[in-house]
Amino acid sequence: MTDIAYRFQNGFPKIGIRPTIDGRRKGVRESLEVQTMNMARSVANLIAEHLRYPNGEPVECVIADTTIGGVAEAAACADKFARENVGVSITVTPCWCYGTETMDMNAAIPNAVWGFNGTERPGAVYLAAVLAGYAQKGIPAFGIYGEEVQEASDTSIPDDVRGKLLSFAKAGLAVAYMRGKSYLSMGSVSMGIAGSIVSDSFFQEYLGMRTEYIDMSEFVRRFEEQIYDPAEFEKALSWVKENCVEGPDNNPAAIQTSREKKDQDWETVVKMAIIARDLMIGNPRLAELGFGEEAMGHNAIVSGFQGQRQWTDHFPNGDFMEAILNSSFDWNGIRPPFIVATENDSLNGVVMLFGYLLTNTPQIFADVRTYWSPSSVERVTGHKLEGLAANGILHLLNSGSATLDGSGEQQIDGKPAMKPFWEITEKEAADCLAATSWRPAGVEYFRGGGFSSDFLSRGGMPMTMSRINFVKGVGPVLQIAEGYSVELPSEVHDKLDNRTDPTWPTTWFAPILTGKGAFTSVYDVMDNWGANHGSISYGHIGAELITLASMLRIPVNMHNVPEENIFRPRAWGLFGTNDKEAADYRACSNFGPLYK
């Protein structure tokens, strides 16, 4: 079994498609059978063509065996969906149907209904009726209704309907895939960071996930008892020596570590990466070596490593481990990234997971460290910010844990990008490695040594920064900022970067401004950001994040997504249409966490 096959051996949730129909026979139902089933097939084809699972394979859809005209057929469909591991439900119809008799009553999975906009039969009437039923029964469902009237014979899916179907399906699959998986807390609270106080109730009630915990001493046990694949370790260490360029040591000469200590650190951090991966997903090789329990792993799709300070005061830091796992390649070649949060910041780890599941691309973990105003940049460097950076920039920087894909050395249409692993070439992976140096850790911060990745993100990449914060009495709250990476002249970057820690990776980020609220200015974005960390995803995915958050009942407190792109359950409008942010809070509070 290949590494990818082993990692995803339990499979993926499927999307169920429910063709509902007017149950009146002797003419009515018979006249609609072909059109209704064709709608279901067209949705299945759309999804299979455009959406991929994390292993790169097309998303699978399951269509009900028959059209659904009443409760008996609805029950038969529900039984089939349960057998087929359906985690997302889409109902389609071109006509009137019997609402509560044909609706999907599974409240634990995301539901959507596409009502065909045609004049021959009232698909829109059914859509309105069944969505009212969903709201009355406390099952928020998404309504999909095309803007333009279609002919009954038209089997195409209009662009606006396609967009909503795909947005719903992507977010719904993320919800379904998280359910039953784990967050692995490697260590405990790091330096008093609130996000590293891992909340089992949040993961259980909002995400349907377990929380698993190990003490960092487990790494020491596996070092000393050699609970790792020694052949893989030798392979990994050889690959590291060939591909990971060690950068200059910025420590004062008097406290620099010896060459012997640095070489020992490399061996340790490579072992840490292998062990952390094995802890997350297991490793069948360990069973062959006599470690059957350890071979199982913790079924974790996201993890966090405490590191500071209980680990890093004595052992090499976790930067290499985190950075290489978060990347799309290592000594075993190009592969799906893992999601590992620095400083065990579980709340940032969650939004990294959201971004990954929505895009299949790796995520940058960073401090939202500094707002640089145009006047401050000009005062310090003499340079006048221009273009995307004209209104100021945010310095996104943290201790070497960001995915190496964030260097922007991959390309889409000749422009810097971060891509799903199956689209990355060997040359692009090599370019990301070549653009990264591994700087000996600052021993004033990291007394145990180690190495931090150091790269500079290329400019021009569309990016979305997000973060979940937890508020007592409210619960989780999501914030989103779409923008772009920007490039500065090298001498300007150096002057700004050297004012902080130049051994860490940098992304210069310019959020898109709307002229109001938290996006009145770049300063306002920084001033309203809720924590010290953020997750940065390639692409403008704010709308998809909002859709996902509404499925999980997580309100959004700040975003710069155009209103016309926002897609939430239809019931959200029943909580108010003038102030949609307030309505979002009320709806999430009313319906409560998805799994509570």
- For residues 352 and 190, give the distance between their C-alpha atoms in angstroms, rounded to a whole number: 18
- For residues 233 and 239, give the distance between their C-alpha atoms in angstroms, rounded to a whole number: 10
- For residues 277 and 285, give the distance between their C-alpha atoms in angstroms, rounded to a whole number: 13
CB 111 within 8 A of CB 86: no
CB contact burial 477-507 (16+ within 10 A = b; e otherwise): bbbbbbbbbbbbeeebbebbbeeebbbbbbb
pLDDT of residue 124: 83
pLDDT of residue 400: 79
- Known binding residue 229? Answer is no
Q: Please report, as a single letter, which amino acid is at residue 560.
A: N
Return the bridge partners of 396, or none. 368, 507
- Known binding residue 383? Answer is no
pLDDT of residue 187: 97
Rg (CA), the chain: 25
Query: Judging by DSSP bridges, how do beta strands 451-454 and 329-330 pair with one another?
Result: unpaired
How do the residues of the chain divide into helix, strand and coil, expressed in percent and rounded to 5? 40, 20, 40
- Tokens 């950075």: give the residue: 323
The CATH code of the domain at 4-178 is 3.40.50.1070
Q: Is 160 one of the catalytic residues?
A: no
- For residues 481 and 546, give the distance between their C-alpha atoms in angstroms, rounded to a whole number: 12
The answer to pTM > 0.95 is: yes
Q: Catalytic pick from 205, 294, 367, 482? A: 367
C-alpha distances (whole Å) from 17 to each of 246, 250, 265, 300 are: 52, 58, 53, 29
Q: Catalytic pick from 212, 229, 343, 482? A: 343
Residue of 55, 11, 39, 158 lying closest to 95 (CA atoms) = 39
- Known binding residue 343? Answer is yes
pLDDT of residue 2: 72
CB 464 within 8 A of CB 355: yes
Query: Judging by DSSP bridges, how do beta strands 364-372 and 393-397 pair with one another?
Result: antiparallel
> Which sequence spans correspond to the domains of the chain?
4-178, 182-591
pLDDT of residue 150: 85
Return the bridge partners of 482, or none. 464
pLDDT of residue 1: 61
Superfamily of domain 182-591 in the CATH hierarchy:
L-fucose/L-arabinose isomerase, C-terminal (3.20.14.10)
pLDDT in tens, 369-393: 999 999 999 999 999 999 999 999 9
Residues of the chain with pLDDT under 70: 1
Q: Is 148 one of the catalytic residues?
A: no
